[in-house]
């Protein structure tokens, strides 16, 4: 356990001390291999590990919390953000009061259970690959070597924070780590230090602070009602106050998971270097949301609160998938689809059955692999070809067939069998349908699953049609040069996706699923096939030879202002309704 926390910290120190050269590849590769092996060793073990914090360590945690909240207040004053100032002040007052009445002693503050071990696989396996990729990515970033080293060190520290937050048994410790991820988001999004980056960083700061406020309120209710700040004690308690506490904690998950209407902070991360988007969207921070719902799921069960959270997550899945169709920046499209799939994960986790929780974990794992691959490939397009928008992707298969192949593989792993996202959705429909008689509200989840999945397929088709277009004015290159610093992380993620899918087939014990892997042949053959095709421009009869302007990749589905008002207003009311249902339950 200490290795998962201390190794990234030690590696970040060496990253800062040593010059930004090839030695950083060695450091990050060593961290990746070591953390992945340790995570697998934990996952293969059945032992539940616990740690009690000493009095001096508890004091340091309180001091760190106060310093962090004061820093947030300072940033709000410095950049004249009323939201940050207000929320920082509220957090300071709440935290001071909660700490003054919080009980001491009791269960261990850190518990490494089976859910924690599963999260270790995602955080260290996928997150470590992103850190390795970031070394090559930052080499071309127009900043000083010191700032490049700071960036790599920041990502390493982020891994350490995430490894600790998924085994925090104390709500107050969880709050500190929750806010540390908020700090990391703020600093990473603001990395380029221009006006837009700073504005988006501040948006991420105040929106996530809302999550921090409801966590403190949840801790306050837990103390007043049950005299504890420990998750395990709380979840074993009975009475309506438990559901109220769980509702408040679930609200923080909705914020951290960028569920509508809070998706703005996550989409704002697109202005940061691509490894930030990959780290926030795929492997680490946003996974706190479904993780926390899974942790709370034993209490949710068949309650009205559990049904409301499931319906909310399912509607987020549909709404975010629909809104993604109006976007033209590749990373924004990936961001909206992340918001959508996070909503689905939370919906399945909130149902609270063993099968639905397992399926939520399956989606979490496969989503982390696929989205990390797609974001890293987007970074290659940005650095190697200066391509960010769909309109700029025309003929890209002729210039970058390898990168296009990785992107198509990422889309296939998100939408087709035998990968876990497809199979998870398919099995979820069957599983939820069996519960409709007892829980009719889940019909909304089933319908949302079908509609949202169809919208995402349409979304990925849009991007793929641009990637595979063959305009006559694009000359093919003889060979795409993909640096090892980019290709190795992409290959690792693709390999992990295939290996995980194979493991899924073996566990299911159904060889028929293996035949469903035939679509994978398409991604292997398609780029080379298209590259050999004659390049063309579509010309319709009687157009006097001019190019036909219609293109599936350029068709957008922009919602009207009225529709947007309904969507955001509706989700705002659902967010508040979670607290009311918690009180009334």
Q: What is the pTM of this model?
A: 0.91
Task: Report the pLDDT averaged over residues 161-180.
Answer: 94
The pairs formed by 526-531 with CB atoms below 8 angstroms and a separation of 24 or more are 526/405, 526/408, 526/468, 527/397, 527/401, 527/402, 527/404, 527/405, 527/408, 527/468, 528/401, 530/397, 530/468, 530/470, 531/397, 531/398, 531/401, 531/476
**Which of 494, 516, 509 lies closest to 418, judged by CA?**
516
- Indicate the pLDDT class of residue 357, thresholds 50, 70 and 90: very high
Of the chain, the percentage scoring pLDDT greater than 90 comes to 46
**What pLDDT is attached to residue 319?**
92
- Position 359 pLDDT exceeds 70: yes
Count CB-CB contacts under 10 A for residue 493: 31
Choose between 417 and 119: higher pLDDT: 119
Report for 204-213, 297-306, 429-438, 521-530: range of highest mean pLDDT:
204-213
- Position 554 pLDDT exceeds 70: no
Task: Report the pLDDT averaged over residues 81-105.
Answer: 92
CB of 135 within 8 A of CB of 24?
Answer: yes
**What pLDDT is attached to residue 550?**
45
Report for 84-98, 448-462, 560-574: range of highest mean pLDDT:
84-98
**What pLDDT is attached to residue 265?**
87
Taking only the tens place, the pLDDT of each residue in 369-411 is 999 999 999 999 988 888 888 888 877 887 888 888 899 889 8
- Position 20 pLDDT exceeds 80: no
CB of 328 within 8 A of CB of 383?
Answer: no
Taking only the tens place, the pLDDT of each residue in 221-241 is 999 888 889 998 888 887 768
For 331-348, the DSSP string reads HHHHHHHHHHHHHHHHHH
Name 323's Cβ contacts closer than 8 Å, sequence gap at least 6: 336, 559, 567
- Position 153 pLDDT exceeds 60: yes
Alpha carbons 137 and 134: distance in angstroms, whole number: 5
Task: Report the pLDDT averaged over residues 147-166.
Answer: 93
- Indicate the pLDDT class of residue 284, thresholds 50, 70 and 90: confident
DSSP state of 544: T
- Indicate the pLDDT class of residue 177, thresholds 50, 70 and 90: very high
**What pLDDT is attached to residue 5?**
92
**What pLDDT is attached to residue 543?**
53
**What pLDDT is attached to residue 158?**
92
Taking only the tens place, the pLDDT of each residue in 523-545 is 566 556 555 655 555 555 555 55
Alpha carbons 444 and 373: distance in angstroms, whole number: 31
What's the chain's Rg over C-alpha atoms? 24
**What pLDDT is attached to residue 547?**
52
CB of 300 within 8 A of CB of 311?
Answer: no
**What pLDDT is attached to residue 208?**
93
Task: Report the pLDDT averaged over residues 188-203.
Answer: 90
- Indicate the pLDDT class of residue 86, thresholds 50, 70 and 90: very high
């Amino acid at each position: 356990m200490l290795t998962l926390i201390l190794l990234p910290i030690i590696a970040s120190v060496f990253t800062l001390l040593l010059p930004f050269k090839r030695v950083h590849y060695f450091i990050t590769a060593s961290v990746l291999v070591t953390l992945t092996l340790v995570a697998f060793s934990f996952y293969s073990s059945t032992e539940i590990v616990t740690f009690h914090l000493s009095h001096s360590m508890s004091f340091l945690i309180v001091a760190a919390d106060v310093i962090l909240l004061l820093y947030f207040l300072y940033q709000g004053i410095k950049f004249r953000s009323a939201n940050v100032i207000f929320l920082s002040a509220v957090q300071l007052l709440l935290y001071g009061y909660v700490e003054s009445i919080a009980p001491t002693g009791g269960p261990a503050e850190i518990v490494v259970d089976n859910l924690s071990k599963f999260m270790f696989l995602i955080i260290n396996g996928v997150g470590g690959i992103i850190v390795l990729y970031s070394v090559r990515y930052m080499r071309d970033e127009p900043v000083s070597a010191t700032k490049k080293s700071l960036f790599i060190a920041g990502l390493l520290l982020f891994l350490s924070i995430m490894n600790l937050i998924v085994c925090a048994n104390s709500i107050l410790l969880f709050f500190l780590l929750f806010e540390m991820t908020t700090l990391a988001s703020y600093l990473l999004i603001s990395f380029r230090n221009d006006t837009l980056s700073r504005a988006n960083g501040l948006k991420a700061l105040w929106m996530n602070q809302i999550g921090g406020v409801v966590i403190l309120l949840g801790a306050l209710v837990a103390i007043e009602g049950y005299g504890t700040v420990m998750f395990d004690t709380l979840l074993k308690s009975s009475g309506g106050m438990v559901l109220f506490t769980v509702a408040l904690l679930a609200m923080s998950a909705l914020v951290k998971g960028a569920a509508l209407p809070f998706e703005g902070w996550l989409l704002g991360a697109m202005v940061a270097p691509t490894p930030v988007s990959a780290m926030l969207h795929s492997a680490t921070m946003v996974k706190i949301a479904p993780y926390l719902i899974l942790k709370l799921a034993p209490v949710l069960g068949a309650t009205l609160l559990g049904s409301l959270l499931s319906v909310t997550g399912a509607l987020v899945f549909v709404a975010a998938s629909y809104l993604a169709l109006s976007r033209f920046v590749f990373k924004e499209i990936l961001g909206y689809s992340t918001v959508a799939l996070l909503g689905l994960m939370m919906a399945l986790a909130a149902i609270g059955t063993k099968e639905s929780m397992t399926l939520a974990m399956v989606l979490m794992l496969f989503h982390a692999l696929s989205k990390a691959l797609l974001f890293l490939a987007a970074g290659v397009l940005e650095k190697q070809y200066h391509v960010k928008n769909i309109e700029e992707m025309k003929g890209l298969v002729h210039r970058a067939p390898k990168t296009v192949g990785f992107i198509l593989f990422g889309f296939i792993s998100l939408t087709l069998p035998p990968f876990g996202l497809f199979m998870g959705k398919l099995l979820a429909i069957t599983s939820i349908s069996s519960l409709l008689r007892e829980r009719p509200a889940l019909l909304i989840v089933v319908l949302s699953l079908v509609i949202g999945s169809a919208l995402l397929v349409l979304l990925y088709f849009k991007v793929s049609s641009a990637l595979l277009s063959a305009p006559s004015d694009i000359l093919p290159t003889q060979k795409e040069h993909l640096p090892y610093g980019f290709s190795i992380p992409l290959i690792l993620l693709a390999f992990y996706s295939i290996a995980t899918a194979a493991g899924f087939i073996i566990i299911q014990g159904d060889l028929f699923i293996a035949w469903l892997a035939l679509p994978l042949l398409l991604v292997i053959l398609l780029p080379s096939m298209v590259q050999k095709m004659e390049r063309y421009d579509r010309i319709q009869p009687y157009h006097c030879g001019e190019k036909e302007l219609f293109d599936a990749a350029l068709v957008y589905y922009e919602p009207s202002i009225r529709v947007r008002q309904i969507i955001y207003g509706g989700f705002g009311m659902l967010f508040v309704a979670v607290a009311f249902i918690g009180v009334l339950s």
